[in-house]
Structure 1
C-alpha cells in the first residue's frame, strides 16, 4: 500500500523534533523511515517536501560547490564499484540527480566531469574471484545458506548486481559459479518489463533505450524481452505506444 502524503510529512516532523531542526537528505537516509526517493517521487524535490511540512527550504542547489558535487559522484562510485546511475544517486547520494543535470546539463556530462568516460565501468578492476567471494558471503550470512537475490546484492552487497551480469552474462550464471543452485526464474509481467524500459529512458535521458542500455543499466536480460514480446523492437513499441 502506498505511503500517504501525510505519513511522509509526519515523518519529517518526527525527524525535526529528534534532530533539533529539519533533516538533511543524509539525515533522512540515516534516521528516516522512508527513502529519499519516496519523497522525491511525491513532492518533486527535497525543498518541496520541506515546504509541505511547513519548514523553510534549504539553500538552492546552485550554492553547492561544484567540487562537492563531483566528490560525491566519486565517493558513490567507489562505494558501488561503478559510476552511479541517476537512480542510485537519488537513493544513496547526498544530492539529487536533478542537481547534477541542472548544473552540468545532463547526467552523462556530470559523470564526464567527475572523470568517468562514456560507458566507463570500474568493475573492470574487480576480479571474478572477488565477486564470487562476495556472493558466498551474502549467501552464507542467512540462517540457512541460500543463493542471494539480485535485490539483496544491490541492497547489502559490496558490488552492484549489474556488475555480476556484465562479468558472468546473467545473475543465475554468477550464482552457479559461486556454488549455489539458482532459483527458478519467475515469470516477469509485461507491465513490469515496460516500466523498466520507461525508467531507463528517463534515467538515460533518451526517447527509447537500446538493448545495450538494458545490458549496462537495466534489471532484466534482453533475452527476457525477446521471449516476452518476440523482439526488442516489439518491446519498445509496447512500452512507448503512446509516444
Structure 2
C-alpha cells in the first residue's frame, strides 16, 4: 500500500474537522481517521504542525496524563532500540521535552520513570512480548499502553487498551497523585476483571497481568470480596 500524499493527509484532517465540528486531536485521527498519527509525524514532524498546514489552530494545551508522557518515551525507545534523547523527543515525539522537564524535574528522571536508565541500550527482544489484544478486555487493537505496576530497572506491568488503562487508573490511582495508588489500581483491575466474568484467583490474576506481588492481589480480593 502506497503512503498517503501530503494533500491526502491534509484533506483527511479537514474531513474530520467537518465531521467532529472541532479541531481534531491526534487521538481522533488514530481512532476514526483514515490514516495514523505516525503518517503525520513522518510528513510534518508533529501533529500540531500538520494542523497548521491544514489551516487550523491547534487545540489549547491541557495537562497531559503522566502515563501518556511515559508511553511516548517507550514508543521512541522501541523505534530506536535505545533510550531516546530529549532532542529526539522534540524532533519527532508527540510531546516536547519541556513537558517532561516540568512534570518530572528533568529529562533523566522522566527516563527513569519510564523504566529505563539514561543512555541505556535496549535490545529489540525486550519489546517482542507485546500482545495483539488487551489483556483485560481481550479486544484486538493496535494501540496498547504498557501499564506499570512497578517502575525503574525492575519494572513490571502489562499491556492494556486505552479504555482499560484509564479504568485501572481511575479514582486517582497514579503514583504522583496518591501514595496508595498501587492498591487502588489493583482494586480497579480486579473489579474490571470480575465485571468481565473472569475467574477471581490471586495466582491467575497475578500471572495474567504480571503483578509482582501475589500477596497484594490476595489482600485486595479479600478486601473487596468476590
**Which of the pair is proportionally richer in helix?**
1
**Which of the pair is proportionally richer in strand?**
2
The answer to whether TM tops 0.5 is: no
TM-score by length of 2: 0.41
